[in-house]
Structure 1
């Protein structure tokens, strides 16, 4: 009598998606977006290419999902820093350090984020855009909290200060993101906080006319 072949149990959808995202993350960060095929991602987890398309419409959709998962984790870490009784100065320093550490730990993923999505025509209003607004909104809230409790000067241009902080971090990190040079998280975070809190002038200059 022929023995019946045992079938492996079907994988839950969430587990299958997580496996695909793990494989896609590794493939995109190791080989780049353009050079990576969906077939190559499927081969990493020993499934056929069609299995990937059951869950994701395209390779770009798959990259979006990888980036969104990373952003959600980053957002969770940022929210954990923003406790109701936290000191705004310490919280701002923590958020700056968190952003620098994220770039340090995932340079190729951040490079893809900045190059592939943020300047694209479909970025505005996308899931990734909404996550970015929530994430940068943490810093906006901390700035306002600091203005309210006297930690920061009153009537600061909140949006400009937020953009100055994230813009400085990303500009400073660009060589590292491009595979050139290093990124020292702690000294960079400390230097940026010192600039923010102390300013660059020995006295307040007259406003230009």
Structure 2
């Protein structure tokens, strides 16, 4: 009789682990990084979402799953970039003393950012600020937060007695940042040079000279005072001659 009893059976294989899918946050960061490169290279209007998807190795629909429109994708790219800048600015400012030095740092850093990120700045100046509803958008609020660092520095200078207390803050902000952008226009659109160091020194000197608190001068001598002083000197001289 043949035994139906089976011999030792091989251990059952563990269920095959399925590769974990990329987390939503990681995928979002990856899309933003690639989209930034493509937007900077081609500009907003010439950028195709298909190229972004191709560089990522995913279907175009995957990009739209995270960002419903190309405009929203651009806005998120700019928001992410603003966040990186803001963190660097606040860290560096904490190590600088003196309102004029901090003022100069913010001017220099803004010029340096334009020089290092011309494509991003062109996107902001031409494609973001011109869109309807910008003044009510998160990007506008981030821009106000960004330039708010400058207003805080001026307020600190007023509090410490370095700057006058009658400075119109918003006007000064518009004057400085608007002047920087106008100054950098040739670099952004006509391929001229931009010397961030020299321009920062010049702008700081021009503006801070106007807003620095000037100490009252000692009263000047009148003609009568000068005549009296001359008479005294003559008497002293006559005395010395007699001696």
Which is greater in Rg?
A: 2
Q: 1:154 Cα shift?
A: 2.2
1:36 pairs, out of 47, 58, 67, with 47
| Structure 1 residues 85 and 94: alpha-carbon distance in aligned structure 2, compared to 1, 3 A threshold | closer
| Structure 1 residues 128 and 36: alpha-carbon distance in aligned structure 2, compared to 1, 3 A threshold | same
1:109-145: CA deviations, max 9, x gaps?
1111111111222211211011011111111111111
Q: CA RMSD in A?
A: 1.9
What is the distance in 2 between the residues matched to 1:138 and 1:169?
A: 16
Q: 1:6 Cα shift?
A: 7.6
1:135-163: CA deviations, max 9, x gaps?
11111111111011111122111111111
Runs (4 or more) in structure 1 with deviation over 3 Å come to 4-8
Q: Which runs of 5+ in 1 are unaligned?
A: 200-209
Residue 121 of structure 1 is matched in structure 2 by 132
Which secondary structure state, in structure 1, belongs to the residue aligned with residue 134 of structure 2?
coil
Residue 22 of structure 2 is matched in structure 1 by 11
| Structure 1 residues 47 and 6: alpha-carbon distance in aligned structure 2, compared to 1, 3 A threshold | farther
Which has the higher mean CA deviation after the structures are superposed, 84-93 or 21-30?
Answer: 84-93
Alignment TM-score, normalising by the size of structure 2: 0.76
Alignment TM-score, normalising by the size of structure 1: 0.88
Residue 148 of structure 1 is matched in structure 2 by 159
Residue 83 of structure 2 is matched in structure 1 by 72
1:102 pairs, out of 110, 113, 130, with 113
